[in-house]
Structure 1
Amino acid sequence: MTASRTVELEGHIIDSGMMQQAFGIVMDMGGNFDVEEFDVGTHKEAESYCRMAVFADSDSELQEILHELHQIGANLTDPVDAHLEAAPADRVVPTGFYSTTNHPTQVRYQGEWIDVENIEMDCAIVLEDGDDPRAYTKVLNAIEEGDLVVTDEAGIRVDPPERPRDSSGPFGFMQGGVSSERPSESLIRQVADAMKQTKEAGGNILVVTGPALIHAGAGDDLARLVREGYIDMLSAGNGFAVHDIERGLYGTSLGMDMETLEHPRKGHKHHIYTISEVIRAGGIAEAVDEGLIGEGVMYECVTNDVPYVLAGSIRDDGPLPDTITDSVEAQNAIREQAHQADMVLMLSTLLHSVAVGNCLSSTTRVVCVDINPATVTQLLDRGSSQAIGMVTDIGTFIPTLAEQVLGEVEPEAANDAAADDD
């Protein structure tokens, strides 16, 4: 094999499986490797180090192997400045541009490592020169002619989140994975503790949700969390807002009476009546101001100044005036929320969960809850490895979560739950 480069892996590379994954990548892609140095951490807080030479039959094959290794956090041992090339036209990136992961990333420029701002997956990195150089991500449709775009893997350092042996602390349970055995009261209590810890630290909590939450009867409890200041941003679609407002106006969701579970006469038309009344008022905030909307999640968002993004789709009725129907504009609005979030709750919505997940850094804590395990596994498969998945009924999860967050659990019930954990 004629082509070779040396890479290094640092951190909890054994516990996280990074080292084994690196070996597998090299062999599966037809290369060889030689471990030149390997230092093992001897206690649970200690990190390990591995330096290995990677070999391939050609430079192009080696480059493909290095690209895959780079995605999991293996970095070249001979750092050079990042390669920069000017974008030839608006929305056109140079050939061979570096496509980002969602992990914390640095680029080397004039011998100094610069943190990449607003990191998210599947973007380009643009570098601005000057007295204080900065690097940041841009989606391809935002690239402007002349932008200095990073190409190749040289001069780039990626730092994936690790999974040390010690998983204590309020966020220790967030180690990824999905199981229908996990949605216990104990785990919901841990999610509640994580929310409280996030707020105490001055962080922001984003909720991403679908209309199933309203239909499952959890709207009042989510509204309480908004009212009490535990939700800082809301991302949803036209359907969620419509059914939330419909419930306040008619007591129905999807035409079903939320108290009797019966379908009243003309109940199937309530959602379109709701849309027409909000359009007549001029929007959700205007409908709140005139007293048309007096309860529900959207009401609490308006009255408590909690920003929301309603991203439209081709399936929408109406839609509501607040719904963003331009897909690029909606993506940018979602992206702005995602970059501000320190913790995200994804509640019974596949498409919105994936859309927001694509915009998140791997350091953002994510809890995804859905009765369908495919929703959670698809989120993890698309790169949101920091997410914990809970397969459970959202109508049970949200009320229990609200009780835990707002301290409404009876002492005896809390003691019973603790005993069950033991």
Structure 2
Amino acid sequence: MTVSQTVELEGHIIDSGSMGHCFGAVMEMGGEFEVEEFEVGRHKHDETYCRMTVTADTPADLRAILHELNQQGATVADPRDATIEPAPDDQVVPVDFYSTTNHPTYVRVDGDWVEVEDIEMDCALVVERNEGDGESSGDDGSDGGDGGDGNEPRVHTKVLNAVEEGDLVVTGESGIRVEPPERPRNGGGSFGFMQGGVSSERPSKSLIEEIADEMRDVRENDGTVLAVCGPAIVHSGGRDALAELVHEGYVDAISAGNGFAVHDLERDLYGTSLGVDTESLEHPRKGHKHHIYTISEIVRHGGIPEAVDAGVVDEGVMYECVQNDVPYVLAGSIRDDGPLPDTITDAIEAQDAIRKQAQDADLVLMLSTLLHSVAVGNCLPSTTKTVCVDINPATVTQLLDRGSAQAIGLVTDIGAFLPMLTDELLESDSK
């Protein structure tokens, strides 16, 4: 005996490919579909509507198919309110909890669609109610937050390690609506030049001009540009350009690892990066020790701000961050030497700090760091504009594989990209 469910798709579902993906997913997962209604948008701004019945052999098979379709923006026809179950223990979610995408998401609560706050992939959805709603978010009787205006419930994401016993967790697929970003029909709009993912064929100058325009727009609107930085910035000679962008107010926050900060500081103290003179490319005597000497010097002063105040550090990216009150998060790893006193060595604490940066960002520049880019990308909503620059196209490919579909890539040397970007921004300022 088979089971079935009717779902709806609406929007530019042909242009974006979501309709074809849904058809293919049903068949690949062993189900069948029958299109009941199909209205094609005939003009540029018209949307397409598709209503279809999905059939599977078992309820479990149907749930799996519906989950896949939900990720592409399909919603159950005539939806009911979302199913909500209390978390049985701290860091434990109900068995059938809904795992989020990074796309804008809405949950149907008490007959109304409520937008999910702080959307992020691979999280649980938690509903919070006011006391006036007659329901509590926890066993202790607390109201679970301000609940917005009046008695309106809130829905927000929580990573699994932050879930508390009694949290009201959304389960199943009913009452959940996902809205994947759609490709503009005219290929234009913001970041319209970035419709093709990763390429080394594109003219870098025109791309840099577009990126510079976006950075200007963010600054003019009091937004936040987050730079995710890898040590290659220092090795390849892009460090001074990035420091200038921080100084001029085009970069509002830095996310990096211990290694980037150490190499930046080593360049200031010794003129080297990992013991190599970044100007002459020569290996000075005992240059291989400069890395650990730098860490020791910063530790001796108590941290990066203290070393800047003491005049020990007087140039570079970290120096400009301190001098211009630009916040930075240095997340530690098992590979770190030292680490610096400023590096967050607790992995959960570092994740939380990165998550806050990501949620506050309007534009993210991922600069030659695969692992850190993936970490930040996992925390970003799909609506956040993201530019990834790396000499290796696999960096952006991995971001796309992890679900950061909004990330585009410029395959080039970071040491060439950053000076060109800085020149483009500062030349326009001087006109």
Match of 2:205 in 1: 185
Match of residue 297 from structure 2: 277
Match of 1:419 in 2: none
Could you tell me how far apart the structure 2 residues matched to 1:263 and 1:306 are? Answer: 33
Q: Report the counterpart of residue 100 of structure 1 in structure 2.
A: 100
TM-score in terms of structure 1 length: 0.95
Aligned mate of 1:243, from 250, 263, 286: 263
Stretch moving more, 179-188 or 394-403: 179-188
- Matching residue's letter, 2:390: D
CA drift of 1:172 comes to 1.6
> Cα distance, 1:176 vs. partner?
5.0
Classify the secondary structure of the residue corresponding to 2:315: coil
Distance 1:285 1:409 in 2: 29
Secondary structure of 1:406 counterpart: helix
User: Partners in 2 of 1:408 and 1:294 — Cα distance?
Assistant: 27
**1:384 counterpart = 2:404:** yes
How far is the alpha carbon of 1:28 from its aligned partner? 0.7
Alignment check: 8 A CA contact 1:183 1:391 kept: no
1:32 corresponding residue in structure 2: 32
Which one-letter code corresponds to 2:410 in the other structure?
A: M
Amino acid at match of 1:310: L
CA shift at 1:167, angstroms? Answer: 2.5
Aligned to 1:120: 120
- AA partner of residue 68 (structure 2): E
**How big is the shift at 1:201?**
2.4
Distance 2:6 2:190 in 1: 38
- For 1:358, the equivalent position in structure 2 comes to 378
Q: Which residue of 2 aligns with 1:85?
A: 85
SS in 1 for 2:427: coil
CA contact (8 A) 1:170 1:197 kept: no
Q: Quick check: 2:364–2:387 contact (8 Å CA) kept in 1?
A: yes
Alignment of 1:278-297 (within 5 A): 278-297=298-317
Checking the alignment, whether the CA contact within 8 Å between 1:183 and 1:390 is kept in structure 2 is no
CA contact (8 A) 1:33 1:54 kept: yes
Q: Which residue of 2 aligns with 1:64?
A: 64
Give yes or no for contact 1:403–1:409 (8 Å, CA) kept in 2: no
**Deviation, structure 1 residue 146:** 0.6
Cα deviation, residue 37, structure 1: 1.2
Match 1:212 to one of 225, 232, 238: 232
Measure, in 2, the Cα distance between the counterparts of 1:291 and 1:410. 30
Cα contact 1:170–1:190 (8 A) shared by 2: no
Cα distance in structure 1, aligned partners of 2:85 and 2:430: 62
1:53 pairs with 2:73: no
Following TM superposition, by how much is the alpha carbon of 1:78 offset from its aligned partner in structure 2, in angstroms?
1.6
Q: 1:18 maps to which residue?
A: 18
- Pair 1:176–1:107, CA change in 2 (3 A): farther
State how far apart, in whole Å, the 2-side matches of 1:184 and 1:84 are: 49
Does 241-250 or 168-177 show the bigger shift?
168-177
Aligned equivalent of 1:330: 350
TM-score by length of structure 2 reads 0.93
Residue pair 2:393, 2:411 contacting (<8 A) in 1 also:
yes
Shift of 1:408: 5.7
1:310 counterpart SS class:
strand
Structure 2 residue 281 is matched with structure 1 residue 261:
yes
Distance (Å, rounded) in 1 between the aligned partners of 2:180 and 2:196 = 13
Q: After the TM superposition, which parts of structure 1 deviate over 6 Å for at least 4 consecutive aligned residues?
A: none
Deviations 1:206-229 (A, max 9, x none): 000110011100000001111111
Q: Matches of 1:408 and 1:250 in 2, distance apart?
A: 34
Q: Secondary structure at the match of 1:249?
A: helix
CA deviations on 1:132-186 (whole Å, 9 max, x unpaired) are 2101000000000110000001111100000022222442223351011125211
1:104-131 Cα distance to aligned partner (Å, 9 max, x none): 0011110011111000000000000121
Quick one: distance in 1 between partners of 2:411 and 2:343?
A: 29
Displacement of 1:410 after TM fit?
Answer: 10
Q: In the alignment, is the contact (CA less than 8 A) between 2:204 and 2:410 conserved in 1?
A: no
Q: Which amino acid aligns with 1:370?
A: D
Equivalent-residue separation in structure 1 for 2:204 and 2:196 (angstroms) = 16
- Note the C-alpha offset of 1:409: 10
| Deviation, structure 1 residue 33 | 0.8
Q: CA deviation at 1:77?
A: 1.1
Q: What is the identity percentage for the equivalent residue pairs of Structure 1 and Structure 2?
A: 70
Per-residue CA distance 1:310-335 (angstroms, 9 max, x = gap)? 00011111000000011111001000
Counterpart amino acid of 1:111?
G
Kindly indicate whether the alpha-carbon contact (under 8 Å) linking 1:44 and 1:164 is maintained by their aligned counterparts in 2: no
Match of 1:161 in 2: 181
Q: Letter of the 1:90 partner, please give it.
A: D
SS of residue paired to 1:359: coil
Q: Which amino acid aligns with 2:334?
A: I
The residue aligned with 1:418 is none
Gaps of 5+ in 2: 131-150
CA distance in 1, matches of 2:195, 2:12: 14
8 Å CA contact 1:85, 1:149 repeated in 2 = yes
Q: Which residue does 1:403 correspond to in 2?
A: 423
Does the 8 A contact of 1:344 with 1:364 survive in 2?
Answer: yes
**Native 8 Å contact 1:10 1:49 kept in 2:** yes
How many correspondences in the alignment?
Answer: 411
**Counterpart of 1:416?**
none
Q: Which amino acid aligns with 1:114?
A: V
Aligned to 1:263, what secondary structure does the other structure show?
Answer: coil
Partner of 1:226: 246
State how far apart, in whole Å, the 1-side matches of 2:422 and 2:333 are.
Answer: 30
Cα-to-partner distance string for 1:297-321 (whole Å, 9 max, x where unaligned): 0000111111000000111110000
